[in-house]
Structure 1
Amino acid sequence: MKKKKKGMAIVASSILAISLTSFNVHTSATSPTVSKNYLIAYNQSLPVDYQTMIKKAGGEVVRAIPEIGGLEVRSSNPTFLDQLKSDSTISAANVERTYKLDDEQPAGADGQPVTLHPDADGTYWSSQWDIRHLTNEGKSFAIEKGGTETNGNPTHKAIVGVIDTGIDANHPDLKANFVGGRNLVPVGGYTGKDTSETGNPTDVIDREGHGTHVAGSIAGNGKIKGVGPDLGIRSYRIFDSSGSAPTTPIVAAIIAAANDKVDVINMSIGGYDNLKYTYNGTHYSDIADILLWKRALQYAVKHNVTVVAAAGNESLNYADKKSLTDYMNANYSIPGLTYSGVSVETPGGLPGVITVSSSNQWSKDQLAFYSNYGNSFIDVAAPGGDNGPVYAATGDLSKRDFTYRALSTWPTYLAPYFTTVDPNHPGYAYLHGTSMASPKVAGIAGVIKAEHPDYNPAQVKALIEKTAFDYGKPGHDALFGDGEANAYSALTGK
């Protein structure tokens, strides 16, 4: 079985984000016993006899998601999909897509790590240009922090679910706001070989760092501050230590978060599904993946959950559909594989989400160099950081200034990231990407829900868009959408 890795494009320097990574196919008729995972989307609910039908076709059910009529199935039968064609209760079935967390470490800082020590008060507030801007120098905290505190113990008025790599639940800036979570990774991880993956449903330990950084931007409350320092954080771990996850646990996490009654979901996740592609003469599609994504998002919205997603980091114009397909063929292709259909960014390109592009510290006209954009794609922008104006003008890697990135929490038990700010004070790092922009908007949605608990997702989105700063071209534009979102303006209307 060949696996085509499809990591998010790295433009000039590393950007932390999550991206679509593999297309799994058996390579020839001589390897018919290769086992693959499939997604099945039924017309409505799961049939009573679905287990029998799947077994008859040569498959084994791995995970069922009855709320959206979805199944993840494993089969080594090379004709498995053909066996399902006569089942009129099935809307779509295809080989399951897999997402991968990009490895950001190898590029390092080119010998220029960040050295930053705490302010006189022991915090990093002076270095949090993004949160200071979003909160009008912390003035929004006086209006709504996402909860109330008594002797340092918060009572959360709104909860944000973070679907990601997990969390350092004992981080000093996060532990008071951590309200629990769920592990969606199976025993052995997705490779079946990771002995640390025991299937413990409460194991949300962050093996990568990404989820902890995202959580800090939402609800950090210590040396760094998030948009809502008293918001609750619930973690849904979908990535194993290899940094990969298929579609099923991601959509299952959306369902779980909605059932847990979170108020907001953040997904700093992005990848592409294609509606039509050919491998060695056989036609495939990702229709089942897209159907289950859509149903999961609809389920969340119907359960009064506001969903926020990153736009992605390939510098692509999502409105130019041909360029997306050309991009997939140029970057993701393997011998015998050709994409020819419409490419859909999941989840940002689907209905029911607030899709966020990445702005920067130094410009009201330019997005961060890596950010995707596009009319009818971007709803709002938020600070995700970049390498600064000198780098933007020159493209000279030696001119990068990492302090223009976003500072947030990093797991205290992991090795220091290359932008860890102070070796003597572990647990903080600068990162950039639309992954860092999305949680800012999720935090804004959280404090809006705390202030207006009766608001539904459409009202939360409308307020964020109405009060966004009109950067870029006047009115709605392809780069910033309705503008750069801001917590203070959303809470005050100013």
Structure 2
Amino acid sequence: MRTKVAAVVGSMLIATSLLAGSGYAKPASQSQAGQASQKQKYVIAFQSSLPANYETLITKAGGKVLRALPELGGLEAESERADFLSNLSGVSGIQAANPELEYKLDEDTAAADGQPVTDIPQDADTYWPYQWDIQRITNNGASYKLETGGTVNSDGTVKHKAVVGVIDTGIDANHPDLKANFLGGVNFVPAGVDASETGDPSDIRDREGHGTHVAGSIAADGKVKGVGPGLGIRSYRVFAAEGGAPTSWIAAAVVQAAKDKVDVINMSIGGYDGIARYTYDGLKYNDVADMLLWKRALQYAVGRNVTVVAAAGNESLNLNDSNAVVDYMNQTYGYLGLTFKSAVKEVPGTLPGVINVSSSNKWSSDKIAFYSNYGSTIDVAAPGGDNGPVYDASRNLDERDFHYRTLSTWPTYLEPYFTSNLRGYALLHGTSMAAPKVAGIAGVIKAAHPEYTPAQVQALIKQTASDLGKPGQDPLFGSGEANIFNALSH
């Protein structure tokens, strides 16, 4: 799954799976995005709480409030006026404001991307033999005997001891492997993004498949198994089939998940904020307001005892190498007239309070997946899969082996994903597939130890990780590959 950006400046947020190959964000101009007007969305952070007259302040500056975030002292606004930001600069109480990017999910066609796996039988009673990733981090299912995250009642329903909120593309709530653990959710995609979007807050139907795959890695209980097959799942949809996921929608989802008292939030989402000034066609911008909303949303969740897990990203970048990150941004967005010089930060994974997850693979205890970001900000790794050792050595697309990707749930109503001929299940790879393994581990830990704080959950995950790579903490695996059996046996 790749992303297209529908505006030209602001924070760079993308779904961090590699559903269709590269996984890189690709900006597009507003005209390319099919927008008739030159409306631009903005995020605005006030110094403290939203003032009572915030709508009047925005209107006077030439804008319109699209979404208020009172818990975070921020809002999303829209304006056609080129002087909107400068008008805001004179408003007392505003700490920062910047343009906001939107992202579009865009799948490649199957024909363009390798041969599908056809040796996994559709009618198998179980797909456990193909779940190398879940086998490894549960010690071949031994962890299930210690804790699954819930208990089955006499009537077949599940009493969930912990709940994981998935901020993503939605969910196939009726999937046979997920429905027993599905507890509801909220849609944050507004009406009009496309013909299917009515603004119904209960519409969490997964149009893309990403969120359903992520949810299965956490709590599937059927042909495939998640890390915690007894965990509850709540879905917070921030991606449309062809619409975007600006920071304000994601921040609102974080707040709602915390209000719903989930124990863990998984965000298989990541991107880059330019904290220092960057230029676009000679004008100077920064993403300070965007960063403030991220930090406030995460503080809101962690302050309410929610453990937050995020994917580290798929750009093969050393996140400690500021020059490499800036070079990546300029190479990727320079043709639009954007110029970055310094202080570009990966979010949300590198922010305080977040467990940042890199992607390990099936075949190596020394190498992480070829696409995975790395650096001192990595807390732990988890299996996200890749294309196998032959491809890793050659980088020849014809030598990819999709068996090395991770198998999980896929919407039953969507066509098979191109990596296999399976319906209802799919083989994917990406840090998007690694993060939910850690979110599932965090959920099972909370089921076993409901008194644990987010800091204690994170500490236990790191202390009990399997030490891969160089001995001790290292920039590829962090503390090692997370392992729920080790954590429960500690």
- The TM-score range, normalised by the shorter chain, is over 0.9
Task: Tell me which residue corresponds to 2:148.
Answer: 145
The whole-number CA distance in structure 2 between the counterparts of 1:10 and 1:489 is 27
1:278 is aligned to 2:275: no
User: Residue 200 of structure 1 aligns to a residue in which SS?
Assistant: coil
- 2:341 counterpart of 1:332: no
Q: In structure 2, what residue type is equivalent to 1:341?
A: S
CA distance in 1, matches of 2:25, 2:65: 23
Mapping 1:290-305, distance limit 5 Å: 290-305=291-306
C-alpha distance in structure 2 between counterparts of 1:12 and 1:200, whole Å: 29
Contact 2:19 2:428 in 1 (8 A): no
What is the rounded CA distance, in whole Å, between the counterparts of 2:279 and 2:391 in structure 1?
Answer: 40
Report the 3-state secondary structure (helix = DSSP H, G, I; strand = E; otherwise coil) of the residue aligned with 1:408.
Answer: strand
Contact 1:16 1:104 in 2 (8 A): no
Correspondences of 1:114-193 after superposition (within 5 Å): 114-117=118-121, 122-151=125-154, 152-189=156-193
The CA deviation at 1:108 is: 4.7
Tell whether the 8 Å contact from 1:22 to 1:98 is kept in structure 2 after alignment. no
Report if the CA contact (8 A) 2:17-2:431 is conserved.
Answer: no
Q: 1:52 aligns with which of 34, 37, 56?
A: 56
Structure 1 match to 2:441: 444
Letter of the 2:237 counterpart = R
Classify 1:401/1:23 alpha carbon distance in 2 versus 1 (closer, same or farther; 3 Å): closer
In the alignment, what sits opposite 1:491? 488
CA offset digits 1:208-242 (Å, max 9, x no partner) = 00000000000000000000001000000000110
Please list every run of 5 or more consecutive structure 1 residues that lacks an aligned counterpart in the other structure: none
Contact 1:20 1:270 (C-alpha < 8 Å) held by counterparts: no
Q: CA deviation at 1:100?
A: 3.7
Question: How far off is 1:32 after superposition?
Answer: 12
Aligned pairs for 1:350-369 within 5 A: 350-369=351-370
Cα 1:15/1:301, change in 2 over 3 Å: farther
CA distance in 2, matches of 1:448, 1:334: 46
**In 1, distance between residues paired with 2:196 and 2:367?**
43
Equivalents in 2 of 1:2, 1:398: separation in Å? 32
CA distance in 2, matches of 1:236, 1:174: 15
Matched, 1:99 2:103: yes
For 1:173, give the aligned amino acid. D
Taking the aligned partners of 1:331 and 1:127, their CA distance within structure 2 comes to 36
In structure 1, how many angstroms separate the alpha carbons of the residues matched to 2:190 and 2:16? 30
Residues 195/95 of structure 1: CA separation in 2 closer, same or farther (3 Å cut): same
Q: State the one-letter code of the partner of 1:315.
A: S
For 1:185-224, list aligned pairs within 5 A. 185-189=189-193, 194-224=194-224
Identical aligned residues as a percent = 60
Would the aligned equivalents of 2:114 and 2:400 in 1 still touch at CA under 8 Å? no
Q: Is the 8 A contact 2:216 2:224 kept in 1?
A: yes
- Alpha-carbon spacing, 1:161–1:402, altered in 2? closer, same or farther (3 Å): same
The alignment's C-alpha RMSD in Å is 2.5
Cα distance, 1:25–1:242 mapped onto 2, change above 3 Å = closer
Residue deviations 1:346-374, cap 9 Å, x none?
11121110000000111110001110001
Task: Choose 163-172 or 80-89, whichever is displaced more.
Answer: 80-89
Secondary structure at the aligned position of 1:245 is classed as coil
- Residue 407 of structure 2 is matched in structure 1 by 407
Asked if 1:478 corresponds to 2:478, the answer is: no
**Match in the other structure for 2:46:** 42
C-alpha contact 1:22 1:97 (8 A) present in aligned 2? no
Where does structure 2 lack aligned partners over 5 or more consecutive residues?
none
TM-score under structure 2 normalisation? 0.93
Gap change, CA 1:181 and 1:10, over 3 Å in 2: closer
1:457-476 counterparts in 2 under 5 A? 457-476=454-473
Question: Which residue in 1 is equivalent to 2:451?
Answer: 454
CA displacement at 1:492 relative to structure 2: 0.5
CA distance in 1, matches of 2:115, 2:268: 28
Q: Does the residue aligned with 1:333 lie in a helix, a strand or coil? A: helix
Paired AA for residue 180 in structure 1: G
- Contact persistence 2:390–2:399 (CA under 8 A): yes
Deviations 1:52-108 (A, max 9, x none): 111111111100000000110111111011111112301100101223435244565
SS at 1:334 equivalent: helix
Number of aligned residue pairs: 480
Residue 237 of structure 2 is matched in structure 1 by 237
- Residues 13 and 352 of structure 1, relative CA distance in 2, 3 Å threshold: closer
Partner-residue secondary structure (3-state), 2:445 = helix
Aligned-partner Cα distance in 1 for 2:279–2:352: 27
How far does residue 113 in structure 1 lie from its aligned partner after superposition? Answer: 3.6
Q: Is the 8 A contact 1:220 1:226 kept in 2?
A: yes
Aligned residue among 415, 422, 425 for 1:428: 425
Counterpart-to-counterpart distance in 2, 1:117 and 1:410: 15
The partner residue of 2:115 within 100, 111, 116 is 111
Asked if 1:262 corresponds to 2:270, the answer is: no
| 2:134–2:226 Cα contact (<8 Å) kept | yes
Measure the CA separation in 2 of the matches of 1:381 and 1:47.
42
